Structure 1
Amino acid sequence: MPESSELTTRPEIGEHAGLADGLCAKRRPCSHDRAAVVARFERFLAATGFQPVRLPAICVAIGVSERTLRTCCHEQLGMSPTHYVWLRRMHLAYSALLGADPARASVTEIATHFGFWELGRFSVEYRELFGESPSTSLHRSVRT
């Protein structure tokens, strides 16, 4: 069997050295790679702000398949990417309602600003998540 130094200096071995890298890239990402995928996902969401974005567009933007993103999110976040996006938007709406002046803003305005168009559903899901109605949050002042 040739020594390892011989393997690295032989041209026919060098020609195929990149083959393993290509094959490994097609395999499932390991856990630290999954954390990097989730970090790219979160950076993308932060860059797009509060606008609702479809999963295929997210995957194209961060350079992974839908299956990979779903796997990474389930492992790292404990939920699907679509649920994470929804939850993030709900929290943005919650913060906006708490910080808004009730005399100048409405629940409808804030909900639609964050991409929630079905206001009845928004209200029910908001109450389930935060334990109060959106209008209660709006009228509860956190300003000093």
Structure 2
Amino acid sequence: MAGMADMGMDSPLLSERSRVFERADPHAVSTYVNQHVGPHCIRLPRYGHPEAYLNHRKFASLDLCRISYGGDVRVMSPALENVFHLQILLRGHCLWRRGREERLLTPGGLLLINPDEPVDLAYSADCEKFILKLPTRLLESVCDEQRWQRPSEGVRFLDHHYQLLALEGFAGLLAMVCQEAESNEPMLRVQEHYSQIVASKLLTLMHTNVSREALSSQAASFERIAEYINANLKQDICSEQLAQQASMSLRSLYALFERNARTTPKLYIRQQKLERIRASLSDPDCKVRNITELAMDYGFVHLGRFSEHYKSLFGELPSDTLKRRL
């Protein structure tokens, strides 16, 4: 299988030391990929006997995969669930489809697929790819550690297509990751460190729905603090923590909330939690196993008080809201 020299990289993305399949049945390779990289199905041409290759390494919470099916193959998946796929075309070409939109990937092209997006890819017979699987929790943990603001619905990449060599330093980083993955003496702490760097790089270099401007990076406005609260409603946010993140005194925080919301930070946060719960209870498309579990998700451990607060705000019990949508 061809290397990465034509793409300007000094070392390949996974060498033959990581070989799992060679000249194998594509369906056997697909079964392995389903177990380690992501759920999908493949459609092969009716004629011929394609021979597939696969290199694979587990790297902390990441999966590194280099794959060639050896034939004109269509790869489909309804959604990847809780993982992101970064795919780099090494050889051949690959047609990406989403609805009426189509994009032809050529060597050096990079495709980023979000967890909830369907996959529909047509590989050429000589297509070879490098695939990086990242769990959603890794990108979320990087956002939380850096105090970047991520929407409550989760991290999403807003652009799907890039050129690898146009992403400053990323090609070299992937090469180092693959080299470390193939080390004779792998060190988990080193792998975890590299994984964090990869996730940080992606969030920095690519267009996402994450605001990398920390809450305390400038004089915090009420709107920015409210955005932070709404993005972290399932967390236990206290007034002291909020003041620290906003780089202001507790007294200034209280004054800011009094001017803008006519209430205290604690009561504002509780109201936002209750409104989010009411929206879930009212939405027929939102799966709610039971009210108790939903309330505890948002930090209400005293269920009697939760019901009192809910009725005081909305004039009805949570059970009444749920019954009305059924």
Aligned mates of 2:285, 2:231 — CA distance in 1: 26
What's the secondary structure of 2:253's corresponding residue? helix
Aligned mates of 2:243, 2:233 — CA distance in 1: 17
Aligned mates of 1:80, 1:137 — CA distance in 2: 26
Displacement of 1:62:
1.4
In the alignment, is residue 97 of structure 1 matched against residue 281 of structure 2? yes
Displacement of 1:49:
3.4
Displacement of 1:125:
1.6
Contact 1:101–1:138 (Cα < 8 Å) also in 2: no
Query: Which protein is richer in helix relative to its size?
Result: 1
Corresponding residue of 2:260? 76
Structure 1's 100 and 113: CA in aligned 2 closer, same or farther, altered over 3 A? farther
Amino acid aligned to 2:294: I
Contact 2:288–2:294 (Cα < 8 Å) also in 1: no
Amino acid aligned to 2:239: L
Structure 1's 89 and 103: CA in aligned 2 closer, same or farther, altered over 3 A? closer
Displacement of 1:41:
1.3
What's the secondary structure of 1:140's corresponding residue? helix
Amino acid aligned to 2:272: R
Aligned mates of 1:102, 1:135 — CA distance in 2: 15
| 1:39-91 CA-partner distances (Å, limit 9, x unpaired) | 22112213323322111111111111110010011011111111111111111
Percent of residue pairs bearing the same amino acid type: 28
TM-align CA RMSD: 2.3
Query: Which protein is richer in strand relative to its size?
Result: 2
Aligned mates of 2:286, 2:244 — CA distance in 1: 39
User: Which of these residues, 236, 249, 270, is aligned with residue 65 of structure 1?
Assistant: 249
User: Which of these residues, 50, 56, 65, is aligned with residue 234 of structure 2?
Assistant: 50
| Structure 1 unmatched ranges of 5 or more | 1-33
TM-score by length of 2: 0.31
Flag as ranges the 4+ runs of structure 1 deviating above 4 A. Answer: 100-104
Structure 1's 118 and 45: CA in aligned 2 closer, same or farther, altered over 3 A? same
Amino acid aligned to 2:237: V
Matches within 5 A, 1:1-144: 37-99=221-283, 105-141=289-325
Aligned mates of 2:288, 2:255 — CA distance in 1: 42
Q: Which has the higher contact order (CA 8 A, sep 6+)?
A: 1
Amino acid aligned to 2:277: A
| Structure 2 unmatched ranges of 5 or more | 1-218
Aligned mates of 2:310, 2:300 — CA distance in 1: 11
